[in-house]
Amino acid sequence: MDLDRRQFLQKAGAQAGLVLAGARALEAAVGPTDAVPAGPSFVQSASDVVVIGAGAFGVWTALSLREQGASVTLVDQYGPGNSRATSGAEVRQIRAAGRDELDTRWSLKALETWRSRLQEWGRPELLIETSLLRLSVRWNEAERTAKAWLDRYKVPTEVVDRDELARRYPQMGLEGIEFALIEPAGMLKSRQCCQVVARALERQGGRVVIGRVEPGRRSGGRLLDVVLTPGGNVGADTFVFACGPWFRKLFPDVMGNRLRTPPGGRCFFGTPPGDNRFMHPAFPNYRDNTTGFYGYPALSQDYRGFNVIGGGGGGSGSADPDSVDRMMAPEALKRARDFVALRFPALKDQPLLETQLCVFDTTATGQFIIDRHPELENVWIVGGGTGRGVKHSPSVGDYAAHRIVGQDQEPELTSLFQLGDTTFE
């Protein structure tokens, strides 16, 4: 049930008078609009909550907070779903099977939310539903676990052997493959999804602002405001940082060793002229457990080519998401092409049409981090997507927003998502 704003303020323990005055000043200053640059009009404006970062985690957390009655300002340095953001990829996959009960349950819940909200906003085409071929050499523990969770939630699956795979998908090379588990999956037009959620926030009275944020003044274990580039500062009762791979730069003491940001590559190979065997719906999403590569077919929504992800982006260690060039390194491209030659021989001499380098935000625990900043009680950290954040983002946003307003609906998850002591070093 949505809370009205007064209830929100009571629940969140806001300093109601101050915050309301600030929020009204902002409402008067800036009408409903697309993302606006920060500037003088923004100085001393305030919301109940400022969310920093308009990737998938930030937009959904901001919308969910707004729908619970909070006045919300969403700030991003480059704009919602921008090309540097990890959510800025054209497509991210959503699949039903997770590695554990929570992963599966949240995926299914998120898929339902993506479906219904995109429908409500008149953009159902941003979710393309398909299936996923999980290709393996043998029936192993990971596949057994995935199937068990899917069975538990009555998600239809199929297990097919090599002969059946060869009959259904003669365009695929099956060297080293003995069977596949097939599960429901989909492709989310990730960049556009972030923008659509940000627009929904604006329609509901939230603000979307372009600006680079630095944490500002502190007092009594609280953050009083954030400082914006190109100018101004914003006060709020609560600050939510949803900064993906930028967390190591923003909070080096807290996140430096809890997060790694390795580059990851994705490429699109051409398909032969007039050949639709590698296009949706003739071919599904795939995940090759024998090589670690995965991807999705050429989409008839945009005809960009056959997608291949994996094999690293080139380079090692953590990349700087602001400055890293978004081209894959030659050795990473070669690994992708070798994989294509092995698994999709008809594409082996096709041209590389496009590549993109994205930056992961991988936690030491493998879990998301949704927790308060250890020194600032009104600052929340929502991040650590760890290769699966876009699909889960409606569930993450809903969960985080409920915790932030003191309405935690799954208290048993607090310790799972805590900052904790597990680090990379």
Nearer to ligand FAD, 181 or 259 (CB): 259
User: Can you tell me the distance from the alpha carbon of 139 to that of 151, in angstroms, rounded to the nearest whole number?
Assistant: 16
Q: Does 93 bind ligand FAD (CB under 6 A)?
A: yes
Site for ligand FAD in 113-172 (CB under 6 A): none
How far apart are CB 286 and ligand FAD at their closest, in Å?
Answer: 12
Q: Does 397 bind ligand FAD (CB under 6 A)?
A: no
Among 9, 38, 49, 54, binds ligand FAD (CB under 6 A): 54
How far apart are CB 130 and ligand FAD at their closest, in Å?
Answer: 13
Q: Does 108 bind ligand FAD (CB under 6 A)?
A: no
Among 70, 85, 97, 201, binds ligand FAD (CB under 6 A): 85
| x/- letters, 261..300, toward ligand FAD (CB under 6 A) | ---x-x----------------------------------
User: Can you tell me the distance from the alpha carbon of 32 to that of 303, in angstroms, rounded to the nearest whole number?
Assistant: 35
CB 176: neighbour CB atoms within 10 A? 14
Q: Does 387 bind ligand FAD (CB under 6 A)?
A: yes
Q: Which one of the spans 64-72, 83-91, 150-158, 406-414 is the region binding ligand FAD (CB under 6 A)?
A: 83-91
Q: For the chain, how big is the Rg over CA atoms in Å?
A: 22
Residue 324 token pair: 């890293």
Site for ligand FAD in 3-32 (CB under 6 A): none
Among 200, 213, 324, 340, binds ligand FAD (CB under 6 A): 213
Nearer to ligand FAD, 5 or 293 (CB): 293
Phi, psi angles (nearest 5°) of residue 25: -60, -40
- In the bound state, the residue with its beta carbon closest to ligand FAD is 385
| 328-351: b (≥16 Cβ within 10 Å) or e | bbeebbebbbebbebbbebbeebe
* Alpha-helical regions (H) of 68-186: 101-120, 141-152, 162-168
Which residues on adjacent β-strands are paired with residue 133?
A: 182, 286
| x/- letters, 222..261, toward ligand FAD (CB under 6 A) | --------------------xxxxx---x-----------
Among 126, 209, 358, 376, binds ligand FAD (CB under 6 A): 358
Contact 283, 379 (CB under 8 A): no
Contact 125, 131 (CB under 8 A): no
Nearer to ligand FAD, 226 or 405 (CB): 226
Nearer to ligand FAD, 163 or 325 (CB): 325
User: Can you tell me the distance from the alpha carbon of 62 to that of 72, in angstroms, rounded to the nearest whole number?
Assistant: 6
# residues near ligand FAD by CB under 6 A: 39
How far apart are CB 85 and ligand FAD at their closest, in Å?
Answer: 3
3-class DSSP assignment, residue 302: coil
Among 22, 55, 98, 314, binds ligand FAD (CB under 6 A): 55
Q: How far is CA 413 from CA 257, 369, 396, in A?
A: 22, 11, 12
Residues 6+ apart with CB under 8 A from 144: none
Q: How far is CA 96 from CA 38, 78, 105, 131, 204, in A?
A: 39, 31, 8, 9, 30
Phi, psi angles (nearest 5°) of residue 389: -80, -35
Residue 55 token pair: 């990737």
Q: Does 37 bind ligand FAD (CB under 6 A)?
A: no
Among 388, 394, 401, 417, binds ligand FAD (CB under 6 A): 388
CA triplet 16, 21, 25: central angle to 5 degrees? Answer: 145
Contact 263, 323 (CB under 8 A): no
Nearer to ligand FAD, 86 or 271 (CB): 86
Positions that interact with ligand FAD (CB under 6 A): 52-58, 75-78, 82, 84-87, 92-93, 212-213, 242-246, 250, 264, 266, 309, 358, 360-361, 383, 385, 387-391
